[in-house]
Amino acid sequence: MSRRGPGRTEHLVLPGVLTAEQATETVSGILAMQRPDGAIPWFRGHHLDPWDHTEAAMALDAAGEHEAAARAYEWLAAHQNDDGSWYAAYHDGNADEPTDLGRETNFCAYIAVGVWHHYLSTGDDAFLDRMWPAVYAAIEFVLELQQPGGQIGWKREADGTAVDDALLTGSSSIHQALRCALAIAAEREEAQPDWELAAGALAHAICDHPERFLDKDRYSMDWYYPVLGGALTGAAATARIDARWDEFVVPGLGVRCVLPNPWVTGGESCELALALWAMGESDRALEILQSIQHLRADDGMYWTGYVFEGSPAMWPEELTSWTAGSLLLAVAVLGGDEATTAVFGGERLPRGLAPDCCGGR
């Protein structure tokens, strides 16, 4: 697999989305938000959460900024709790002051996606060895909350109480993370049969048992995440996306975050583009990315969202590392970046042990 050199952004050039200069501006914007200890907050002065921190780090790897990305993962390893978790939010500037003591399972699992992506981007065996204990502990923490039906409980409260209710979006993200964790384990020749069973049971729940998850179907993430997380594939994935396209996609503006609100968001739009690419629909993915360029700010970062009725305005007034990161990752898959396509395409990721589900796995 080819390795991207430092600051190489030629694969991040996409007509109507990014020029080479614009790609460099966006990468520089994320780097400017990263703290010296490796932490990447939403923006300076705001909080950090482990999932969005990881997404921004993946974008840096996609741009060839491997040292900066490695520092982000080292930050995670250094701040992992004894039970393998991370808190849901940390104060920017002082990681010893968590601002939300809940421990969300999808936040904790996502380190596996980032670590595997960094390894595929760099071929750094020593990095994989250093990060394996953190990945292992995180996955074990997450699977403690797997329910008999395969779905993953949402979180542990600050007092340690398990919340058994499961979120479809979160569980779908965990499905991708489990597959990446299995890929790491295979690379290290450390078989994890329990993880294989867990991944299979989770995929089955996502594909065939929507009743096992809280009803959040007003949110676009619940619409596309079963596809983005790799559980739902083939004709079933296409049918799911097509069934609600007109509800969530606002032509020329992007993807609604939640119905019926007249609010499109960059992160959801870019994630939908990733899901469309995984389905083999690169043309529709490109159209979505082109439609959100009105969210681009003069400094190369991206506004979180845009309210398009009433008094149209960018809202909230924030330029987030994770919105820019999701844009770069979506552009990277369309540009053929090998590590990013491997992580989001899924063809080379272990599938776990599962019965055939509605995606034709």
Spatial separation of the C-alpha atoms in residues 191 and 321, rounded to whole Å: 35
- pLDDT number for residue 4: 61
Provide the pLDDT for residue 6.
60
153 forms bridges with which residues in the sheet?
166
Query: Model pTM?
Result: 0.96
> 91 near 47, Cβ under 8 Å?
yes
Cβ distance 249 to 196 under 8 Å? no
User: Taking a C-beta distance cutoff of 8 angstroms, is the pair 75, 123 a contact?
Assistant: no
**Vertex 68 angle, CA 64 and 73, to 5°:** 110
Taking the C-alpha atoms of residue 6 and residue 28, their distance in angstroms, rounded to an integer, is 12
Question: Mind listing the pLDDT tens digit for each residue in 37-46?
Answer: 999 999 999 9
pLDDT digits (tens, 9 = 90+) for 329-345: 999 999 999 999 999 99
Helix (H) or strand (E) holding 164: strand 162-166
Asked if 90 and 36 touch (Cβ cutoff 8 Å), the reply is no
**Domains with residue ranges and CATH for the chain:** 10-345 (1.50.10.10)
pLDDT of residue 7: 62
Instruction: Identify the bridge partners of residue 305 per DSSP, sorted by sequence position.
Output: 265
Running along the chain, 361 residues long, what does each successive block of 10 average in pLDDT?
Answer: 62 95 97 96 95 98 98 97 98 85 98 98 98 98 98 98 98 98 98 97 97 98 98 97 98 98 98 98 98 98 98 97 98 97 95 62 37
